[in-house]
Structure 1
Amino acid sequence: MMGPDYSVVIPIFNEEETLGELWKRLHNVLEQLEGSSEVIFINDGSKDSSLEILIELNQKYPEIKIINLSRNFGHQCALSAGIDQAKGNAVVLMDGDLQDSPEAILNFVEKWQEGYDVVYAIREKRKEKWLKRWAFKVFYWIQNRLSGIPVALDAGIFSLIDRKVILALRSMPERNKYISGLRAFAGFKQTGIVVERGSRYKGEPRVTLLKLIKLAFDGIFSFSTIPLKISIFLGLTFASASFIIGLVGLYYKFVLRQELLSWDHGLTTTFFLGGIQLVSLGIIGEYIGRIYDEVKQRPYYIIREKIGFEE
């Protein structure tokens, strides 16, 4: 049986207050598209009534499908579960808090029909606090400098992806996925359109600072070995500087009969170099930890049940 023309993949975690409005707006958009659609909601271990609401919607609207994960695996894992099950010729990835505007999908489809394989949203006028907006800009800047794979500034997961690119993403089995980076890595014909980033419909943001930091680490360490090279460079630089300072210190002691540095300078230097060593070990540890995850070959997510899918 032929698959639908469009698949919309939405991870859900404790969004009971948002689901009604999300489906109302999304359903209105899908009715304007020519062709069939499916909407795949991934319940990522919600503790509220999100799953019950999704089941009620599925009973009224057969295009809604539900993947219920066995626990909370995280945003990127939930997205991967939806990507693996999506059958559409074009797959839309979006968040479920209405910060990603469903109406922008119509613009995505126009660009896709023009021949683009990936159409992603360039987020404009973010509604987060200034510190968070600044942190995102710094992250994208660092990632582009280190990875060698250009990722558009302020381009998150909100995007439309052609099926051939989806199949390419499925072939990338790594455990610490950064889907926006993998999407850029896949190549093909890509373009971005400016979309105003909305504010969260209701409730508090689900993504904590620690989760954002982990995502940033995945985006950097999964696509570049430059941090390791920086560690080597720092080691050689400080080793050379220490050798030179040692020679100068011997000159002061035995020729000029003077003390080059007092004890407090030496203590400060020790702590500084110790910090550099710990940071370098931490960078090495990040890479080793990722190797450890890959070697274990544990599943990226576990599905408890699927609702609305054909057997």
Structure 2
Amino acid sequence: MKNLLISFVIPSYNEEGNIQPMIEALSRTMTFSRNLYEIIFVDDGSTDGTMDEVREAVLLYPEVEYISFTRNFGKEAALLAGLEYAKGDAVILMDGDLQHPPDLIPQLIRGYEEGYDQVIAKRNRKGDAKLRSALSRLYYWGVNKAVDVELRDGEGDFRLLSRRAVDSLLQLSEGNRFSKGLYSWIGLEQKTICYDNVTRQHGETKWSFKQLLNYAVDGVVSFNTKPLRLCFYAGLVSLILAVAYIAVTLVDIIRHGVDVPGYFTIISAVLFLGGVQLLSLGIIGEYVGRIYNETKKRPHYLIRRTSAEVKGKPLSHAKIRSS
């Protein structure tokens, strides 16, 4: 097989202490490979010295490139920018915190050479808190009952994508992106490699509980309309129960006369129906909000600067895609 060009896409947000170790780890891994490679850092509006480290690395390592956003647009936008910028025959997505072991890279490339379009690195939950592991398992069990694609616990962004897989992902231009679902949605031949979970080397995780919760909601509503159907069923069941209650009450009035209405009955009915209505409106609102965001046609991200300015070459392979 001919020599390949491997593009490493690394979204980075406040990863000042991990830039140099990441480059050194990738360089060591690729030293004995016959393949060429490029390392693309996508700075997602970092507020620390991340960009200083990256700019210094660009001067020292010819294979290092970068894209810097005007502000924090989120990891999904960073992944998209990296895929648009990458020009390799295959693209390897990695986090910038060294929790994705570079030692697995030869196995990922070997899977690509075997003909797979997606070679996925799947981690176990070793070292995670028991509560977090239990919640993750519960989430994946529940979400796979609802969504139209299959999501697997432990499979994230750490994977190799063939050029065909990258081009397929770039055809999906929605603004509300959920990459885990998109990887599954495009299909193509897949191979999975398992590895032990690795703890973060420097800094702290950027994912708060609120962000994880929002990410979980994105996974549920991005790939199905079943919650809307659930609203319909809930409304139908509520209507049937209400009609049944009215019928029973009417028969009781006809047989025994009018009694003083019970406080508990009124409050229960109001709270039950009000809860169903608010829940339904919230679910509908999620979809309406996404429709609203899609209709604005805003770009996924805006670029402040790139390594092209330093290296004096045109940014011909990077594009700003509209939502």
Q: Structure 1: which 5+ residue stretches go unaligned?
A: none
Percent of paired sites with the same residue:
34
**1:307 aligns to what?**
307
Does the residue aligned with 2:8 lie in a helix, a strand or coil?
strand
- Structure 1 residues 71, 12: CA separation in 2 closer, same or farther (over 3 Å shift)? same
**1:84 aligns to what?**
84
**1:246 aligns to what?**
246
Counterparts of 1:22 and 1:259, CA distance in 2: 76
Equivalent residue pairs, number: 310
CA-CA distance at 1:257 after TM superposition: 4.4
Does the residue aligned with 2:304 lie in a helix, a strand or coil?
strand
CA-CA distance at 1:105 after TM superposition: 1.6
**2:152 aligns to what?**
152
Counterparts of 1:36 and 1:137, CA distance in 2: 39
- Equivalent positions of 1:272-283 (< 5 A) are 272-283=272-283
Does the residue aligned with 2:292 lie in a helix, a strand or coil?
helix
Return the TM-score normalized by structure 1. 0.94
Return the TM-score normalized by structure 2. 0.90
**1:30 aligns to what?**
30
**1:52 aligns to what?**
52
Given that residues 91 and 162 in structure 1 are in contact (C-alpha distance below 8 angstroms), is that contact kept between their aligned partners in structure 2?
A: yes
Runs of 4 or more consecutive aligned structure 1 residues displaced over 4 Å after TM superposition = 257-261
Given that residues 40 and 65 in structure 2 are in contact (C-alpha distance below 8 angstroms), is that contact kept between their aligned partners in structure 1?
A: yes
Counterparts of 2:101 and 2:43, CA distance in 1: 20
Task: Tell me whether 1:266 sits opposite 2:252 in the alignment.
Answer: no
Counterparts of 1:151 and 1:188, CA distance in 2: 15
Counterparts of 1:258 and 1:106, CA distance in 2: 80
Mean Cα deviation higher: 174-183 or 257-266: 257-266
Does the residue aligned with 1:28 lie in a helix, a strand or coil?
helix
Q: CA RMSD in A?
A: 2.0
**1:121 aligns to what?**
121
**1:134 aligns to what?**
134
Q: Structure 2: which 5+ residue stretches go unaligned?
A: 315-323
**2:195 aligns to what?**
195
Counterparts of 1:289 and 1:280, CA distance in 2: 14
Report the residue type matching 2:116 in the other structure: Y
Given that residues 140 and 154 in structure 1 are in contact (C-alpha distance below 8 angstroms), is that contact kept between their aligned partners in structure 2?
A: no
Counterparts of 1:274 and 1:126, CA distance in 2: 43
Report the residue type matching 2:292 in the other structure: Y
Report the residue type matching 1:302 in the other structure: L
CA-CA distance at 1:126 after TM superposition: 4.4
**2:318 aligns to what?**
none
Counterparts of 2:26 and 2:83, CA distance in 1: 18
- Structure 1 residues 71, 263: CA separation in 2 closer, same or farther (over 3 Å shift)? same
